[in-house]
Amino acid sequence: MQKRKLGKSQLEVSALGLGCMGLSFAYGPAMDHQGALQLLRSAVEQGVTFFDTAEAYGPFLNEELVGEALEPYRGKVVIATKFGFQDGDIRKPLNSRPDHIRQVAEASLKRLRTDVIDLFYQHRVDPNVPIEDVAGAVNELIAEGKVRHFGLSEASSDTIRRAHAVQPVTALQSEYSMWWREPEKEIIPTLEELDIGFVPFSPLGKGFLTGAISPTARFGDNDFRHLVPRFSPEALEANQGLIKLVRELAANKAATPAQIALAWLLAQKPWIVPIPGTTKINRLEENIGATSVTLSEEELLKMDMALSRIPVVGERYPAFLQAMSGR
């Protein structure tokens, strides 16, 4: 597995990380415990060194799972987790008060079975707490050796700058893919200027860019996508033009649609590290295969021109989550 460094911090991780949320939260029934352990450990054996979790995934269950699975490999892997919701529950108000950040850190350390959190993200920007206070609280945890690096998620350019002035930000985690290119306008130039790494979540468009979701797909109540406008029947039908393009590109490169979507992301900047999630070992292997797909400048230019001609239909979040993004 190739390695990449996240920004000025020089935090080195595998070129592809693993988003762990779906193992226990948000995308239908949770995996059985032993199967999830096996998948996480298989990822390590195949060269993945970067694992993403959060107290809110469960709540708490995902951190416990990741902690158990990775304990034997702790010296070889980088674990990122997050704070920011009251009681770790996304249905409850945001809470990034400094005393709460410390409480979350202490609890996460125990669940992750470690003495230090490698990368500690603010899950969503809390409008009731100045970002300078948040950065200062994480700065104290870093000084105490409980956290190594500070990250933000779904933050605006202005918020990133203000936080970075207090405690250098190692990485921003936000959605970015062929299906959501908004970060290209302001976020990516800001990250490049400040030398901050970028960790795109949902790099496969919550599964859409794999080509495996048909226009007639329907999602159960325990699958977050049933709330997402972009996964409504009308939007799924309207967005098939993008899938057609990705399939054509994949056929030309003897790759899969998922590999093309990930290879496209990897080609954007050398400090971008996508974190696709999966519950299947064969999909894990497929995703890792994207690191071997090379796209030339000419191919990237043609892809960009083709993508620019395809309108994307539907909001990426339901209203209550959309309001928390880009603050």
Spatial distance between the Cα atoms of 152 and 29, rounded to a whole number of angstroms: 28
Token pair for 99:
């005393």
Instruction: Report whether pLDDT(326) > 90.
Output: no
- Domain holding 77, by residue range, is 3-208+268-292
- pLDDT one-digit tens code per residue, 43-98: 999 999 999 999 999 999 999 999 999 999 999 999 999 999 999 999 899 999 99
User: The pTM is what?
Assistant: 0.97
The predicted structure's pLDDT at residue 323:
80
Percent of the chain residues past pLDDT 90, beyond the cut: 95
The predicted structure's pLDDT at residue 254:
96
Residue 299 domain-assigned (yes or no): no
- pLDDT one-digit tens code per residue, 123-151: 999 999 999 999 999 999 999 999 999 99
Q: What CATH number is associated with residue 156?
A: 3.20.20.100
Provide mean pLDDT across the span 102-110.
98
Supply the residues annotated as catalytic. Answer: 57
Instruction: Report whether pLDDT(320) > 80.
Output: no
- pLDDT one-digit tens code per residue, 222-259: 999 999 999 999 999 999 999 999 999 999 999 999 99
- C-alpha dihedral over 202, 162, 169, 116, to 10 degrees? -100
Residue 222 domain-assigned (yes or no): no
Nearest Cα neighbor of 119 from 151, 88, 155 is 151
Residue 202 domain-assigned (yes or no): yes
Residue 250 domain-assigned (yes or no): no
Residue 251 domain-assigned (yes or no): no
Q: Tokens 């496209």, residue?
A: 264
Q: Are 241 and 310 in contact (CB under 8 A)?
A: yes
Q: Mark residue 180 as left, alpha or beta (left: phi above 0; alpha: psi -120 to 50; beta: remaining).
A: beta
Phi, psi values for residue 186, rounded to 5°:
-125, -35
Residue 301 domain-assigned (yes or no): no
Phi, psi values for residue 4, rounded to 5°:
-135, 160
Residue 153 domain-assigned (yes or no): yes
Instruction: Report whether pLDDT(325) > 90.
Output: no
Spatial distance between the Cα atoms of 179 and 102, rounded to a whole number of angstroms: 36
Cβ-based burial of 233 (10 A; exposed 0-12, middle 13-18, buried ≥19): exposed
- pLDDT one-digit tens code per residue, 256-296: 999 999 999 999 999 999 999 999 999 999 999 999 999 99
Specify which residues 173 forms β-bridges with. Answer: 153, 199
Residue 216 domain-assigned (yes or no): no
User: Structural domain tally of the chain?
Assistant: 1
